[in-house]
Amino acid sequence: MKETIIQEALAGNKKSIARCISLIENNAEGNSAIAEISHQPSSIPLIGITGPPGAGKSSLVDAMLAVFAKQKLKVAVVCVDPSSPFHTGALLGDRIRMNRWHDHDDFFIRSLSSRGTTGGLHPMIKEITGFLKHCSFDLVLLETVGVGQSEVDVAKLANLKVLVLVPEAGDEIQFMKSGLMEVADVFAVNKSDRPGAELFAKRLRMMAGHRPVLLVSAVNQQGIEELIAAFPVSKK
């Protein structure tokens, strides 16, 4: 039975994919077969979306999905949320974010609890994202919980890391100290319609070196296509 579910998941069946992820999360019987698949090499890119709380990461992912829908790309999105203090589940469920995309044929969206990990990721995230890379998607997006200085674990997994910041983020030297500056491949200055965005981006470029610094606005759907153009993905 579990072999059938796994094969259906690999073929892109979203219900079976969800069941396989639950097996991984709970370390249930049949998890070893899924884990074996998750550790196999894959050319499907994993894009990490990271940054401090309030930077608008979820809104930015939502805006990206609008572009991916036009491009007819198949995308899996994993959102790692803070753990509830009363249970191990996600405090912010996927029901309240990206609602318009849940029934989209080409998208799979799943929220996970960080389960108390300090790096901003779920303890089984390597196995979960590794399995998704074999499930007929063109790319996998990983949005992290947003816990500031500790949120660098994404660098160990993602093929490309996008650091989302906002104009009022403060002294850019703090980002260098935090470790987030070092892990980023692309900087996205979100809410770029706010005062000081251009100046903030200019200062950020002085520190970023060859890495791109892009002005984006998730709410106004501006700069999103330019951001996506930096992703190492091509439709199958």
In a domain, residue 184? The reply is yes
The structural domain count of the chain equals 1
Q: pLDDT tens, 149-170?
A: 445 677 778 999 999 999 876 5
Q: Which two tokens stand for residue 192?
A: 């770029």
Domain that holds residue 168: 160-231
Evaluate whether residue 202 is within a structural domain.
yes
- Which residue has better confidence, 45 or 89? 45
For the residues 94-118, what does the mean pLDDT come to? 71
The Cα 59–Cα 65 span in angstroms is 10
The answer to whether position 64 is within a domain reads: no
Written as six digits, the tokens of 139 are 């790319």
pLDDT greater than 80 at residue 219: yes
Query: What beta strand segments (E) does the chain contain?
Result: 46-50, 75-81, 107-113, 139-143, 160-165, 186-189, 213-215
Output the average pLDDT for the chain. 82
Whether residue 77 is contained in a domain is answered as no
- How many Cβ atoms sit within 10 Å of the Cβ of residue 232? 11
Q: What is the pLDDT of residue 182?
A: 78
- List the one residue out of 55, 79, 69 whose CA is nearest residue 188: 55
Q: Domain for residue 211, yes or no?
A: yes
Helix, coil or strand: residue 162: strand
Has residue 65 been placed in a domain?
no
The pLDDT, as a whole number, for residue 228 is: 96
What is the residue type of 48? G
Res 3: pLDDT: 82
Residue 173: the pLDDT is 47
Is residue 43 in a domain? no
> What pLDDT is stored for residue 97 in this prediction?
55
